[in-house]
Chains A and B, each alone.
Chain A
């Protein structure tokens, strides 16, 4: 029994190693990093973090990222809720085809959309705003949210809806007061996955922003190429991007298994 846990333990170490390395570098000066290999900071410094917290170009990047991720998550889930309800409860003209079409969008390579999106959002004047990225990401997140929510909703028997109507609930009241709390776990899982895909995606985030709404991820790549290798700073910036992810996982840790169990990732 004990031996069995060796495998996940070894794998866990494998997973933590690069993260540890990143954190390690974030507390070193760039000189020390470039100087050679050291397993822990010999000249421990908080400078890298200080720069990020005080320099607007840096922390604006984080704010910009959080902005579009939140907009995207809220938008995707809000729009997906009624749609998922429809797919779960009703049959209507073209429903299967619609569902499939939605799924195919998840299969679209972002690279294919890079240039068209650039032109589209420039044309409607949303270029370089969080809205552009948020909307662009909905292409991939909305189908995902619909799929996940539909899965959870199908687990709730129709009798609940019918009972509510018999009890005199209007549809909006039923939906918000009764139905949504019932599928709260599903909404949580959908939000988690929307957050996940939006926070990590870079290509579109970079293409659709220039200066004002530049997300932190894109800022990092810009810094890397233009001002030479400020590795310590980069490492600190990178380390800070781990935090939102860790926070989100912590909150949904009890639902992760359930969400994946539906197999609707």
Chain B
């Protein structure tokens, strides 16, 4: 659509800008403020420059959380994106089952995150939980409160349960928007199912897949509540990801300086990688 140039449009945008600025800029300024200052006791602040940043960047604990986070996000993306795509391809596109499927898929997305955590927390308990007991019966001496591997297993399973639906719904929407004529032409051309996927479906899904990957990357990188409710970050530190570490530092220990510095670095990492995806997306849309 051709847009007209109209600077009075700023009035339309003003409420949004004010609201978001209030929520974003003021707190961010606070964070920046804390990140470059050191405090001794109440209301005594001294300029610290980049000291906190250096400290955080060299901090082993931060490195550890960052690495755990990266591993977690990588695993999540590797599982959820292909799985979501496969399920979307298999879902019915016409008929009475469509609504049922859609509602079912959307259900996990609307459960408060701590309820999700609580559900899995209890379900995975080795003696009384469906999953925990089941696994033990099958031979694995599974106990997520004690074994890091079991804890990771549980958390990843929970996240797959929780968020794959997002990928499914996005891919499904993309699939449904492919006009029938393409499938008809492929039929006439004698193409097999794999060729249809490779030459028709996959290219047309590029946009939604990019968004799915972007969203899952961002959200898994920020994960907090579900993990805390299930493992609390443990056993020990084994499931302490970036957000959890940050909150512990900020609200738990009230180490404002390091917490603030870490916040900014954290935000920056996400921004950078998201910006990468965003430009890729924009290039896709322009084409």
Direct contact of A and B (CB under 8 A): yes
CB of B195 closer than 8 Å to a CB of A: no
A86 touches B225 (CB 8 A): no
Most buried by B among A17, A92, A112, A119: A112
Size band of the interface chain B makes with A: 35 or more
Contact of A108 among B110, B122, B247, B267 (CB under 8 A): B267
Distance of A108 Cα from B208 Cα, bound (Å): 21
Question: Do B129 and A102 touch across chains, with their CB atoms under 8 A apart?
Answer: no
Within 8 A of B (CB), among A2-31: 4-8, 11-12, 14-19, 21-22, 25
Binary A-proximity of B75-111 (CB < 8 A = 1, otherwise 0): 0000000000011001110000101011111111111
- Minimum C-beta distance from A247 to chain B (A): 10
Asked if B101 contacts A257 (CB within 8 A), the reply is: no
Task: State whether the Cβ of A166 lies closer than 8 Å to any Cβ in chain B.
Answer: no
Find chain A residues with CB under 8 A from B111 CB.
Answer: 200, 241-242, 245
B66 part of interface (Cβ distance < 8 Å): no
**A199 contact from B5, B110, B118, B256, Cβ within 8 A:** B110
CB distance from B201 to the nearest CB of A (A): 14
Quick one: which of A98, A116, A263 contacts B13, CB cutoff 8 A? Answer: A98
Establish whether residues B266 and A88, one from each chain, have CB atoms under 8 Å apart when the complex forms.
no
- Is there contact, CB below 8 Å, between B274 and A111? no
B250 CB within 8 Å of chain A: yes
Q: State whether B5 touches A142 (Cβ < 8 A).
A: no
Residues B243 and A221 in contact, CB atoms below 8 Å apart: no
Q: Is B52 an interface residue (CB 8 A)?
A: no
Q: How far is the CA of A217 from the CA of B263 in the complex (A)?
A: 25
Closest-CB distance, B117 to chain A (whole angstroms): 9
Q: Which B residues touch A25, using CB under 8 A?
A: 122
B24 in the interface (beta carbon within 8 A) = yes
Is the pair B270, A105 in contact by a Cβ cutoff of 8 Å? no
How far apart are the CA atoms of A110 and B244 in the complex, in Å? Answer: 11
State the CA gap A102–B174 with chains docked (Å).
25
Q: Does A83 contact B (CB under 8 A)?
A: yes
Cβ contacts B184-224/A at 8 Å (1 or 0 each):
00000000000000000000000110010001001001101
A-B pairs with beta carbons under 8 Å apart, 15 shown: A15-B161, A19-B119, A103-B278, A105-B23, A108-B267, A110-B224, A116-B30, A202-B114, A217-B114, A217-B115, A238-B118, A241-B111, A241-B112, A249-B107, A261-B174
In order of increasing CB-CB distance, the 6 nearest A-B pairs are A245-B110, A116-B27, A86-B12, A260-B173, A261-B173, A139-B23
